[in-house]
Structures are given as structure tokens and as C-alpha cells.
Chains A and B, each alone.
Chain A
């Protein structure tokens, strides 16, 4: 039995697996989670997993804990094995999709990772750097500007309004300008989703594969999957639990640093 934890910038995600099968999944808002259940013990991060109520006593006593996430290189987690994010996400995608060859596009709250997986092995990867305008946080901001829910934003992909700002903050004023021009909310939402695709395309083009596995919280955005398939001509596969992919990956990683599904 293993517990996988993915400490993201927006959400802390949890997965409990028994014999490779998902027993249950959960998540907490990152800030709430750290405030209520985290504390620094010297240079080590201690998490009060029992206090979260996510796992029962028996599970906590028996399960090995594997963790990944932001800040893992500045903190070590007490009592847990720490793995790199890229390995965790690739392992999750292998486990969830059963595919052997694909490009993994993981889009989280701040991070965008593109990994090339060949014969179940990570063979190369790129990550966004210096700019997080292709992230979940950007989508949240834009939904707020448009006064729509994330679900509403994520349902539109046809006839996108063209948006060009390179900065996620200047993008807000550009969007306001387009609202004034009278475009429909549906087309504006599609435009926001389209900007995300444009920002990740140069990273995706680094690698060749027939299939893109789209994971991370942003993969819940159905419009994005549609636009990606349309722009790339590749098959886009969204795993059953995209947001928990990293946590599931952690829980599948064996005792060695190898990407191997349990």
C-alpha cells in the first residue's frame, strides 16, 4: 500500500493505492493545507497526515509515503521518500493510460512540463521557465476577469477571439478591450483557451509522437484538449484523474528511482 502526495502550487493532491489500484483520491487547497497541517522541523517539512482525516490509522501505519512537488529541493519531508516531479508525472501517465509511447503535457497551477516517453522511459523533457502565463493560475485569473466559472471557461473552443499579449497580466487588459468590442463570452473564453495552446506549442514541437497525454489540473479544461487536437493533429488522451496524476505516479513508483508502474 502506498500513499502518493503531490504538493502543487495551488492544490496538494493525495492518492492511496493498494496493489496498483486506486483506493481513494483527495485534494486540499495548498495554502490551507500548509497552514493547518504543515510545519517546519529544522530543514524538514512535517505533515500531519493523521490530522487531515484523509487516511485511517491502519492506512497510515502500513502505507509507504512517496511525495513530490514544489519546494521539494529546499525541504525534505519527514518519513517520506521524495521523488522529482517529472518522474512522478510520467509514472502517473504510464499507470493511468497504459500507453508506452507518448508526449506528456502536464499543465499545473504554475508549471507546464512536456516530457517525451519512449518504451515507458522518460527520454527528454522541457519545462516552462521564467514565465507562468501558460498555467492554471492564468486560467483562473481570466475566468475572474470574464466573470465566469472555470467550468464555463473550459467549455468553449469554437471561433476563438485572437489574443496576443505575452504577459498574463497585460492579457487581462487586452481581454477587457475585447469585451468592449462586443465579442460573445463564448468566443472570448475560446480565445483564452487558444492562448494556452499557442504558448505550449513551441514546447510540444520539440518532440515527435502520435499521442499527447494531457494531465495536470488544466487538463480538466475540455476546450483545451479539443484545441490541442485541432492544432497538432495528434491524438490527445486525458487520463481518468488528470489532476491527481502526479500523486498517483508517486504511489506507483517503486523503491528505485525508476519510472515503472506497479
Chain B
């Protein structure tokens, strides 16, 4: 099965209908066990130090894995992707651009998705069939999320893993579904967790791997993984276009905030961790987030895929202690 990479969540249904093996390049990079080395390799290849670590990681992951075709999200993610696309083209990788319209216009989005369908030579019938298949898995991922906040049976890291992996279903929806089934079965048999502080994690997924266990060691647990949950398509709708219009991540911050406000209230969240990636434009949005949310907010910045540094730990500890007062 031919692998097709993508730079951030795209309509997965198109790749599944086309019989391709989907590869979310972010997941390959961060879970590959060599992520720090990959960022350094990209810097040696000429990527500047003051550029997003995810872009460098994606670049190195493509080079190492030998993936020959990549769908690059040119609108709705970041402008670094455009330059990444150019570098990849230069190096012989087939790049297929995909753009989420900033105004969430249904006609424009339909046109983009149909362009992608033409490229992969699939029709609506096949795409809708793929959606039904994927939705059955997504239901289970939604249940894992519910168990994390409503039943307190799932840790922040476990929920993060399943939500974020739903973007490409780890390349194989059947296997991924079996993994989710086994996890759910085990989770139902657990005793509820007892962390006192309930946190929301908003922003792009963290580049450090140990954030969730560190928070839990302090008695605080993430019960809302904002963008990760979005990657798993949390809104039930039979219409594919509507699904990718409701999806908040690629659109403006206000669309995201509407979801964040509803979910933080519903999940009885005490405070928010806003993660921003070094050199990312979303760092600017922190000031909007702070104006619009009334909960205490800790903004964390990550650059490279390293364990949490001492300074970040000090800030997290102070924040959790403040919440426990």
C-alpha cells in the first residue's frame, strides 16, 4: 500500500478511499524515538535555528522514511509549511497542496476537497464510505475522551495519544480500532483517578513527551486536550464538508475559543495550560486567549523534543501550587 504523508490533519477519508496508507508526519516525527536527532539533522541541512521544531522534524521524518508523496496544508496551518513544500519539491517529493479557507466557506472547502479527490482519483461514493468506516473508530476515540473527563478513568497522556493518533489512525484503521477496543475494555475496569486539579491543555500538541506524567505527579490532570481532540473529529455529522467546517484547528482563534469555552465549563476545568511552540505565529494569540478566558492560564513554550527543562518544571509547580491554595 502506497504511503502518503501529510503535514497536519487533512480529510483522511480521501486517502482511505484511494487505498493509500495515511501517515501523519507529526506523529512519525515525535514517536519515532529519534526526534531530537531529526531536528538537528534538519538544521544541518540548512533549516534555521529560529524556525518551528515541528517543521524541521517533519522534514527529517520525510527524508528518513522515504515517503514520496506529501499533502501539505498551505492555509490553516502555518506559512513555514509553504517553504517546506518548496524544499521538498526541490528534493523530488511530490507535494499536493491543500488549503482550509480562512472564512470556513463551504463552497471553497468543497472545492479544495474535490481537488484532493481528483488528485487521488476517488469519487464521493467512496469517500463517504470511508467516512462511515472512520466514524466507527472515531466514536470509540470519543468514548476514551469521555472516560478521561467524565469517569476519570483515563490519564491525560493516554487520552492525548488516542486523540492525536486519530489523524491518521496510525496508518491502519482496523489495527487502531482494535487497539482502542482493548484500551476501552481495560479502562472500564479501573478505579477512578483522584487528581485534585483538573486542567485544560490548549494549543498545538506538546513537543515534550513528559508533560502529562509530570502534571499528574503534582496532582493535576489534563481532562481536555483541545487540538488533539479536534484531530479526532469530535462532532458527529453525516456530512463530510460540515465535519471539516466544524473542525476548529485550521480556522481563526475565535472559532477555537468557542469550543474551548464550552468544553472547559462542561469538564469543570480549574485552569488552562496554553502551549505555544517557539517561533510559531500562534504565540501572538496567547494575548487573545488571556483576554477571552476567565480561568487561570499558564503559557508554556517548547522548542525542541527534549524532556521538560528545569525552568518549565519550576513554572508548572508554581502554577499547580497556586491552584491548590
Q: Do A and B come from one complex?
A: yes
Are B310 and A258 in contact, with the CB atoms below 8 A?
A: no
Q: Is the CB of B321 within 8 A of A70?
A: no
Q: Is the interface of B mostly helix, strand, loop or mixed?
A: helix
> What are some 20 contacts across the A-B interface (CB < 8 A)?
A70-B314, A71-B310, A73-B310, A73-B317, A83-B321, A84-B318, A86-B318, A86-B321, A121-B325, A122-B325, A125-B318, A126-B299, A129-B301, A129-B311, A129-B315, A130-B278, A130-B301, A130-B303, A258-B325, A259-B325
Partner of A257, one of B310, B311, B314, B321: B321
| Contact B318–A87 (Cβ < 8 Å) | yes
Residues of B within 8 A of A129 (CB): 301, 311-312, 315
Contact check, A257 vs B325: say whether CB atoms are below 8 A apart. yes
With an 8 Å Cβ cutoff, the count of chain A residues facing the other chain is 23
**What are the residues of chain A within 8 A of B317 when measuring CB–CB?**
73, 84
A84 and B321 in contact, given A127-B315, A129-B301, A130-B278 (Cβ under 8 angstroms): yes
Question: Across the interface, do A87 and B311 meet the contact criterion of CB distance under 8 Å?
Answer: no
- CB-CB contacts below 8 Å: A77-121 with B: 83-87, 121
Residues of the B chain whose Cβ atoms lie less than 8 Å from the Cβ of A86: 318, 321-322
CA distance A20 to B27 in the complex (A): 54
Would you call A72 and B314 a contact (CB within 8 A)? yes
- CB pair B322–A125 under 8 Å, yes or no, is yes
Interface residues of B in 295-310 (CB under 8 A from A): 296, 299, 301, 303, 310
Question: A residues within 8 A CB of B311?
Answer: 127, 129
A74 at the B interface (CB under 8 A): yes
Q: Which B residues are CB-close (under 8 A) to A83? A: 321
Looking at the assembled complex, report how far the CB atom of B202 sits from the nearest CB atom of chain A, in whole angstroms.
17
Complex CA gap A129/B315 in Å reads 9
Interface residues of A in 218-262 (CB under 8 A from B): 257-259
Mark contacts of A124-161 with chain B using CB atoms, 8 A cut-off: 1 yes-contact digit, 0 otherwise: 11110110000000000000000000000000000000
Cβ–Cβ < 8 Å partners of A126 in chain B: 299
CB distance from B268 to the nearest CB of A (A): 20
Nearest-CB distance from B53 to chain A (Å)?
13
- B102 interfacial contact with A, CB 8 Å: no
A85 touching B314 in the complex, CB below 8 Å, given contacts A121-B325, A125-B322, A259-B325 = yes
In the complex, whether B313 has a CB less than 8 A from a CB of chain A is: yes
Instruction: Given A87-B318, A130-B278, verify A257-B324 contact (CB < 8 Å).
Output: yes
Instruction: Identify which of B299, B311, B322 gathers the most chain A CB atoms within 10 Å of its CB.
Output: B322
Within 8 Å CB of A84, what residues of B?
Answer: 314, 317-318, 321
Shortest Cβ distance from B285 into chain A, in angstroms?
A: 16
Q: Please, how many angstroms separate the alpha-carbon atoms of A86 and B323 in the complex?
A: 12
Residues of A that sit less than 8 Å from B by CB: 70-74, 83-87, 121-127, 129-130, 206, 257-259
Tell me the smallest distance from the CB of B308 to a CB of chain A, in Å: 9
The docked-state distance in angstroms from the alpha carbon of A126 to that of B322 is 12
Q: Nearest-CB distance from B253 to chain A (Å)?
A: 19
Complex CA distance for A47 and B319, rounded to whole angstroms = 27
Give chain A residues whose Cβ lies under 8 Å from the Cβ of B314: 70, 72-73, 84-85, 127
* Chain B residue contacts of A73, Cβ below 8 A: 310, 313-314, 317
User: Taking the nearest CB of chain A, how far is it from the CB of B113, in angstroms?
Assistant: 39
Given A86-B318, A130-B301, A259-B325, the answer on whether A124 and B296 have CB atoms closer than 8 Å is: yes
Can you name 17 extra interface pairs (CB under 8 A) apart from A124-B296, A127-B311?
A70-B310, A73-B310, A73-B317, A84-B314, A84-B317, A84-B318, A84-B321, A86-B322, A87-B318, A121-B325, A125-B322, A126-B299, A127-B315, A129-B301, A130-B278, A130-B303, A257-B324
A105–chain B nearest beta-carbon distance, Å:
15
Given A127-B315, A129-B315, A130-B303, also A122-B310 (CB < 8 A): no
Q: Which residue of A lies closest to B318 (CB)?
A: A86
Known contacts A71-B310, A124-B296, A130-B278: does B318 contact A85 (CB below 8 Å)? yes
Chain A residue at smallest Cβ distance from B308: A73
Contact assessment for B301 and A87 in the assembled complex, using a CB-CB cutoff below 8 Å: no
For the complex, what is the distance from the CA of A84 to the CA of B310, rounded to whole Å?
A: 12
Provide the residues of chain A in CB contact with B301, threshold 8 Å: 129-130
Question: CA separation between A140 and B312, bound complex, in Å?
Answer: 25
B220 to chain A, nearest CB (A): 13
Measured in the bound complex, the distance between the Cα atoms of B298 and A124 in whole Å is: 9
Against A, the Cβ 8 Å flags (1 = close, 0 = not) of B283-303 are 000000010000010010101
B 240-293 contacts with A by CB, 8 A: 278, 290
Q: A69 — nearest CB in chain B belongs to which residue? A: B314
The interface residues of chain B lying within 8 Å CB-to-CB of A85 are 314, 318
Q: Which of B278, B318, B319, B324 has the most CB of A within 10 A?
A: B318
* Choice from B299, B310, B319, B325 contacting A74 with Cβ under 8 Å: B310
